[in-house]
Structure 1
Amino acid sequence: MCKIAVFSNMYPSKEHPTYGIFVKNQVELLKKHDVDVDVIAIDDPKKGKVAAIKKYLSWFLRSMLYVMKNKKKLSLTHSHYAFPTGYLSLLAKKWFGIPYIVTVHGGDLDKMAAKNARIAKMTKNILQQAHTVITVGEKLREDVIHRFGVAPEKVELMSMGVDTSVFAPMPKQAVRRSLSIPVKEKSILYIGNMIEAKGILDLIEAFDIVSKEEPEAVLYLIGSSKDAGFMEKFNRHSLRRPDKTIHMEPKPQQELAEWMVAADVFVLPSHHEGFGLVALEAMSVGTPVVATNVGGLSSLLRDGAGVLVEPHNPSSLAEGLLTALRTADSSPNEAAEHRVKSNSYDVIAERLIALYDAAAKGQDKSYE
């Protein structure tokens, strides 16, 4: 198999184990399938202008030195996020003829490319010069084709995949006992970054409505509280029902899977979402999912695979949560099971390796 360099501006470390965990998971999946992969990534989520300049400059230099040293061994590069990450792959192609694949995750188009015309132009160039553009959601695929002018045959719709060996059904009541969750409790679970764009304040308002009709309901939120400004807002809002709103910091994936199993309903109230992998993981353990009708969530939960609600609308969210809570013990969701199967690691690995092979065969070696 060919040698691959993966570039990413998000990657886990011991200090930040969940930062870009989806990229690491895919890298580990590739290694299990005997793909020779090297990773050059940023593993520090610190914000601030000075810190950002330092870490991005260091990353850029490390990446380019790596490419120059390994240019004759590399079959292709794979960048996660169009800009700035994809620019590294674009330079490797321009300088050394190394083809590349770029995965678009959402924020790189919805936020980064919208910052100014220069970044939008660079993003367009990065996407158009790629051998293949992978989008994790249907809406992103449409954006890549129609907003950035990439030929449809070069765009592949593919999620990051779900590890069904970790996110698997378990005996619910046994897991709840291990987590000290009372039998009669109606558990609602959110997992993700604690930021406003995830719709958390909408969720707090919706939960206030739910609690009045379901007194046994408890809301659990698992996610990083590093955004101090937002956490102040969250704490003010959650004071309405402090004993029923429980926040926890990020946990290892196996523990997350247990919390998903224990929950009666999983909720993802995002204002925008490229795909919504965490929702797929909840579906994989068999827990009903309520999410906003945005981005990749719209197609992920269509056909009854989950409950879709209006974004920015606490009343709609509350209605969806109540519906899911009251039907949580119904028969297995075949649409959800199909969605999980089509996004399993085995399926994703097979498709991704096929894309790598196709890109490597078209490699331009004229620089040698």
Structure 2
Amino acid sequence: MHEKLLSYGLDSLVVVPAVYNSDNRAEEKNVRQIKCFGNYDRFFYYRKQRKITRSIEELTHQYKPQIIHSHFVFSGGYTCLKIKEELGIPYVVTVRNTDLNLFFRRMHHLRGTGIEILRRADKIVFISKTYLDKLLEKYIPVPDRKAIVDKSVILPNGIDDFWFENRPRSAHSIENGKIKLLTVGAINKNKNQIIVSSVANYLRKKGYDVEYTMVGKIENRTLFRKIMDQGLTTYVEPKPKETLIEYYRSSDIFVMPSIHETFGLVYAEAISQGIPIIYTKGEGFDSQFPDGTIGFSVKRNDADDISCKVLSILDDYDNISAECLAKSAKFKWDTKVEDYIRLYQEIGYRH
């Protein structure tokens, strides 16, 4: 997104707060690292945020931004709130998985701060309508809901141009009756590969010829061993996009019923290659398209539901694959950046 904003002529500066002793970042255009807090500050939300805010306030006096965009509510939104109070600079915040499922859900003592950040924001971005609905229903007081809705916009993430530059010309098809399932993501409880392995085994017992491949970094070795002990799962270490694309293309259905997911770039990458997907009901990718268009939403830990949806995709595979190729254009960054520029202009940005 930053690269695209620069290519459209916006003077965009990305600020990366970091601990004092962190390694220096490799130089990137208009990206600035500021080392402004210690390791122990991470345990004290307000102390850490005040240190970050002081450093960024100094930077704003030099850089003189027209607007500020924090891509999280709690990690960055506090700074936006304080700078607006001090300097009157309008701000945008994006609501993400950690905001909903960590800060709002578990850190009750910070909810008031989160609500105030949203109240004072000039615009609020949601990656999916699912997250807007969840925020309103669970955490926003009824008197504040209309005001939140009125300044909220749904803007899904984009994916690298690479996926469109290398998009296949025709829909995918299943060969030789073999069903190849794929998951791309860190091996951990959240990505939920264990349930996909169970689904693969269930379908095999029903007489289907099923292969399951999971690609990603092993973050939970106990879970990894448990998955591999179930048998007939192929593990592949993380791969660059130039290699990963071949794993998408050689698979038939992308299955990742994550516990929580803000968006999930891998879903969009998969459909760009004509691969139908299975994603979690009520999480980030749900509601991007009507259910059944490019795949199906599922109950994350319901092997029967997931198995049923795999078979539903097989029943209409050619049409769903063709829809994947057509609908993936929604995630081109050129389109997304134009949406963001209009959003920024609505709250005072002038080119």
Q: TM-score, normalised by structure 2?
A: 0.79
Match of 1:82 in 2: 73
How many angstroms apart in 1 are the aligned matches of 2:182 and 2:44? 34
How many angstroms apart in 2 are the aligned matches of 1:222 and 1:319? 24
Higher deviation after alignment, 276-285 or 143-152:
143-152
**Residue 157 of structure 1 is aligned with which of 137, 154, 170?**
154
**Residue 130 of structure 1 is aligned with which of 104, 121, 126?**
121
How many angstroms apart in 1 are the aligned matches of 2:97 and 2:43? 25
Q: Percent identity?
A: 23
- Pairwise CA distance, 1:52: 7.4
Match of 2:245 in 1: 257
How many angstroms apart in 2 are the aligned matches of 1:260 and 1:112? 34
**Structure 1 210/52 Cα, relative in aligned 2: closer, same or farther at 3 Å?**
farther
1:111 aligns with 2:102: yes
- Pairwise CA distance, 1:125: 0.9
Question: What does 1:294-309 correspond to in 2, within 5 Å?
Answer: 294-305=282-293, 306-309=295-298
1:321 aligns with 2:310: yes
How many angstroms apart in 2 are the aligned matches of 1:104 and 1:295? 13
Match of 1:274 in 2: 262
Contact map agreement 1:169 1:284 (CA 8 A) in 2: yes
- Pairwise CA distance, 1:159: 0.7
Match of 2:221 in 1: 231
**Residue 192 of structure 1 is aligned with which of 185, 198, 208?**
185
**Structure 1 310/342 Cα, relative in aligned 2: closer, same or farther at 3 Å?**
same
- Pairwise CA distance, 1:254: 3.4
1:169 aligns with 2:167: yes
**Structure 1 43/68 Cα, relative in aligned 2: closer, same or farther at 3 Å?**
closer
1:40 aligns with 2:21: no
How many angstroms apart in 2 are the aligned matches of 1:262 and 1:35? 39
Contact map agreement 1:86 1:126 (CA 8 A) in 2: yes
Unaligned 5+ residue runs, structure 1?
A: 1-25, 176-181, 363-368
Name the count of aligned residue pairs.
321
**Residue 68 of structure 1 is aligned with which of 55, 58, 65?**
58
Unaligned 5+ residue runs, structure 2?
A: 23-37
- Pairwise CA distance, 1:199: 2.2
RMSD of Structure 2 on Structure 1 (CA): 3.3
1:348 aligns with 2:340: no
How many angstroms apart in 1 are the aligned matches of 2:234 and 2:186? 15
How many angstroms apart in 2 are the aligned matches of 1:33 and 1:258? 31
Contact map agreement 2:68 2:92 (CA 8 A) in 1: yes
Letter in 2 for 1:135: F
How many angstroms apart in 2 are the aligned matches of 1:359 and 1:336? 35
Letter in 1 for 2:230: R
**Structure 1 121/318 Cα, relative in aligned 2: closer, same or farther at 3 Å?**
same
How many angstroms apart in 2 are the aligned matches of 1:185 and 1:334? 19
Match of 1:178 in 2: none
Match of 2:5 in 1: 30
CA deviations over 1:124-160 (Å, ceiling 9, x no partner): 1111111100001112122344532352220001111
Letter in 2 for 1:121: G
Contact map agreement 2:91 2:123 (CA 8 A) in 1: yes
Higher deviation after alignment, 151-160 or 140-149:
140-149
**Residue 209 of structure 1 is aligned with which of 178, 186, 202?**
202
How many angstroms apart in 2 are the aligned matches of 1:308 and 1:295? 9
- Pairwise CA distance, 1:273: 2.7
How many angstroms apart in 1 are the aligned matches of 2:211 and 2:16? 38
**Structure 1 193/187 Cα, relative in aligned 2: closer, same or farther at 3 Å?**
same
Q: 3-state DSSP class of the match of 2:106?
A: coil
- Pairwise CA distance, 1:271: 2.4
CA deviations over 1:180-214 (Å, ceiling 9, x no partner): xx987532111123221222221121121123346
Contact map agreement 2:181 2:213 (CA 8 A) in 1: yes
